[in-house]
Amino acid sequence: MSRVIEVPDVLDHKGFEGLLRALNGATEGEPARLLFNAKHVRWTSPYGLIGLLAAGRVARERTGLAPSIEAPENREVRSYWERMDFWQVAPEVYDVEPQATRPHGSSDALLEITPIRSHHDVHAVVERVRERAATILLNKLHYPRPSVIQFSVLLSEVCQNIIEHAEADGWVCAQTYKYRERLGGRDVVMLAVMDVGIGFEGSLSSEHSRRHGERWSAGMALERALLHGESRHRDPGRGQGLQAIRRQVDRWEGELAIRSGDAMIASPTQEWGDLEPMSTGLEIFPGAQILVVMPARLEKD
């Protein structure tokens, strides 16, 4: 007998929290096969889409059984999942038949869902998006030409974070679309990177938890990493990658959020954003989940 997890109809960073509540409730007690019911999903962000892979992986680890998933009934959502290569990656997590890769023409995706398992994967991802990034950042977001290289560095850093700190596989994807509700229809690039590894609290614990004692938590670990550049390594200069990402996103007037354990930190927070600088007491979930939103520059007369 299966337990059903109802996937929120709007699967973005807020919907992801609802998905985790359902997952944590369904995995209490005796293990049972889980069914992720995504039939009623009517909108999905890159963060929500790879969040569905992360939740499925955790379900599999907790129950020892591969969960199943019902595809969205909404035609546009189903088409979006296909364009983002969800069904090519899903068999690694869900009990679904592998689907042959089908050409899907021009896409608004900067980067379809890509697993990150090694440094080789990171280099391949950066090379894969170089040409698309130039087109999108220069022509759609109106960024200066050096931003193409800066974006490649940012992409490499967030992916390297999985390899160096998570001790687990992860996923990355990025897409451009219009923020109709919050940015008046301006184009944005949304970059999402997730893993289900040891998380920031686990990664920094051996080096930093003792001096903080009972105050040590996932929220404090995020603060120490993002705001103070602390790392689990003692080498001088280590741990600066996230701070560099934060400064770059700030220059782009974008938004950066990192979730880990039961906490999420957002820095900087823009007037158009809907994230709190620090949220704690969230649903406990392993690993780290990173969200970057880069809005189009307002063209000046």
The encoded tokens of residue 222 equal 């995020």
Are 45 and 289 contacting, i.e. CB atoms less than 8 angstroms apart?
A: no
How far is Cα 135 from Cα 250, in angstroms, rounded to an integer? Answer: 22
Query: Please, which residues bridge with residue 44 across strands?
Result: 11
pLDDT at residue 239, rounded to an integer = 47
What's the CATH class of domain 107-301? Answer: alpha beta
Reported as a single tens digit per residue, the pLDDT across 219-256 is: 999 998 888 777 654 444 444 688 889 999 999 999 99
At residue 24, does pLDDT exceed 50? yes
At residue 299, does pLDDT exceed 80? no
Domain formed by 1-96, architecture: 2-Layer Sandwich (3.30)
pLDDT at residue 107, rounded to an integer = 64
* Cα-based angle 156, 265, 6 (whole degrees, multiple of 5): 90
What dihedral angle (degrees, nearest 10) is formed by the CA atoms of 289, 292, 293, 294? Answer: -170
Q: What are phi and psi of 10, to 5 degrees?
A: -110, 105
Reported as a single tens digit per residue, the pLDDT across 73-128 is: 999 999 999 999 999 999 999 999 876 666 665 566 889 999 999 989 999 999 98
H or E element that contains 170: strand 170-179
H or E element that contains 11: strand 10-11
Who has greater pLDDT, 97 or 23? 23
Q: How confident is the model at residue 300 (pLDDT cuts 50, 70, 90)?
A: low
In Å, how far are 56, 164, 251, 293 from 160, measured between CA atoms? 23, 6, 22, 19
- Name which of 241, 249, 290, 243 is nearest 268 in CA terms: 249
pLDDT at residue 16, rounded to an integer = 98
Domain boundaries, the chain: 1-96, 107-301
- Name which of 128, 207, 213, 233 is nearest 173 in CA terms: 128
- Name which of 248, 292, 241 is nearest 266 in CA terms: 292
Pick the range with the lowest mean pLDDT from 38-42, 194-198, 203-207, 273-277.
203-207
SS3 (DSSP) at 259: strand
pLDDT at residue 224, rounded to an integer = 87
The sign one gets for the Cα dihedral 186, 227, 232, 205 is: negative
How far is Cα 16 from Cα 8, in angstroms, rounded to an integer? Answer: 8
pLDDT at residue 238, rounded to an integer = 45
pLDDT at residue 177, rounded to an integer = 87
How far is Cα 161 from Cα 9, in angstroms, rounded to an integer? Answer: 30
pTM for the model stands at: 0.92
Are 249 and 227 contacting, i.e. CB atoms less than 8 angstroms apart?
A: no
Q: What is the mean pLDDT of residues 191-208?
A: 86
pLDDT at residue 237, rounded to an integer = 46
Reported as a single tens digit per residue, the pLDDT across 274-294 is: 889 999 999 999 999 999 999
